[in-house]
Amino acid sequence: MLVIVKLFFFQKDVPATGPGNSGGKNAGAAPPMKVNGIVVRGFYLEEKVFASGTVLANEEVELRPEVSGKIIALNIKEGTRVNKGDLLVKINDNDLKAQLSKLENNKKILSDKSGRQKKLFEMNGVSREEYDDVLNQLATVEADIQFTTAQIAKTEIRAPFSGQIGLRNISEGSYVSQNFLIATIQQVNPVKIDFSLPEKYSSYLKSGKEITYTVEGNTRVFYGTVYAIEPKVDAATRSIKIRAISENPDGTILPGAFARVNMIMSHSDSAITIPTEAIIPVLKGKKVMVSRNGMAISQLVNNGLRNESNIEIVSGLNIGDTVITSGIMQLKDSMKVAVKILPQYNKISNKTNYMNIKHGTK
């Protein structure tokens, strides 16, 4: 048996050279290697970043009195809408009204007196000093009237804007001191969305950019528009604070809610994307194997976005190239290949550099 095996070995690897041999030079050449591949196409590609945000009321105010006193009117129905300028709280101002009435009487008396003094002064019946004294008294009373009127205005709390009243913390007839929290008023249509992104996206950020977001307890996707960007980078988090505005006509979105924000930073209608398994790391970067004229050829490439299944190629490939996706570690340049073309359905909607940013941090 050993002798037969050796004869077989030499007959295979040492071809006959006699005149009757018809094998020729390529009689022992290996057949093409069977591999899979894809034809490079252009796909719609978008780069998205994801961030955690917070919903804010468009306007929010705490209703607090400017003066101490007893509440004599409380026109607050919890959870209802009010209009700008509506009187919500009135504090007892009887003493101020009495003082104002006294001052107005004095003003009338001094006004009549200044009229008489003016006539006498014009006839040289009184001195300039006497006439100026009456004018000064009148000006002082008018100033006191303005001050008292301002103090009376402080006993009233009016709605600073149209919005919704929250829960009140006091009842009519109670005595309140300055800065006691009576209730809050919020304007919830529209709402604001605050979120942060890393500073590397600063060149993409601009007013007018659209966002989508979701909130807890609601499956709907809401839309908003960026209208303000903090003009500095937070030194602690290396992020930029962004504020968007979103319509909320039915009041579904509540201020203070957690928002999952999604923003498209850039997009292309004809980006080249290939399966990630086609990439071969090399010393100078990355390469792929392409099929040209039935042979495998290595090609250096530069990549852009990527996700778990596909990667964007920004240079090194052209639409129409055939990229080999299987057996690439066994291939060498100029090796013959037989490529089976597979359908390519890759569409990157960037989970590239997937961001789950919470208050500006990765």
Residue 27 tokens, joined: 């009689």
> Following CA atoms 260, 265, 266, 271 in sequence, which dihedral angle do they give, to the nearest 10 degrees?
-50
* CB contact at 8 A, 256 and 210: no
193: nearest Cα among 248, 153, 231: 248
d(CA 73, CA 89): 6
Percent of the chain with pLDDT over 70: 87
The angle at the Cα of 64, spanning 62 to 65, to the nearest 5 degrees, equals 160
pLDDT tens by residue, 306-361: 877 888 899 999 999 999 999 999 999 999 999 999 887 555 554 444 333 333 33
CATH topology of domain 33-46+268-341: 2.40.420
Residue spans in the chain of domains classed CATH 1.10.287: 94-153
d(CA 26, CA 9): 18
pLDDT tens by residue, 225-272: 999 999 999 999 999 999 999 999 988 999 999 999 999 887 787 888
The CATH number of 94-153 is 1.10.287
190: nearest Cα among 16, 341, 56, 93: 56
Architecture (CATH level 2) of domain 49-58+187-265: Beta Barrel (2.40)
Token pair 């796909």 is found at 43
53 DSSP β-pair partners: 195, 259
* CB contact at 8 A, 301 and 343: no
In the predicted model, what is the mean pLDDT of the chain? 85
Residues whose CB is less than 8 angstroms from the CB of residue 139 and which lie 6 or more positions away in sequence, other chains included: none
Name the region of 4 (left: φ>0; alpha: ψ -120 to 50; beta: rest): alpha
pLDDT tens by residue, 94-126: 999 999 999 999 999 988 888 888 888 788 877
Residue spans in the chain of domains classed CATH 2.40.420.20: 33-46+268-341
pLDDT at 165: 94
d(CA 329, CA 316): 19
Surface-to-core class of residue 238, CB atoms within 10 Å of its CB (0-12 exposed, 13-18 middle, 19+ buried):
middle
89: nearest Cα among 163, 189, 184: 184
pLDDT at 352: 40
- End-to-end CA, the chain: 70
Architecture (CATH level 2) of domain 65-92+155-181: Beta Barrel (2.40)
Residue 115 tokens, joined: 């009229």
Q: How many CB atoms lie within 10 A of CB 239?
A: 24
d(CA 299, CA 314): 13
d(CA 195, CA 215): 13
DSSP run (H or E) holding 163: strand 163-165
d(CA 128, CA 133): 9
Residues whose CB is less than 8 angstroms from the CB of residue 289 and which lie 6 or more positions away in sequence, other chains included: 278, 280, 296, 297, 298, 299, 323, 324, 328, 331
pLDDT tens by residue, 155-214: 999 999 999 999 999 999 999 998 899 999 999 999 999 999 999 888 889 899 999 999
Residue spans in the chain of domains classed CATH 2.40.30.170: 49-58+187-265
Is the pLDDT higher at 182 or at 13? 182
Residue spans in the chain of domains classed CATH 2.40.50.100: 65-92+155-181
d(CA 169, CA 63): 10
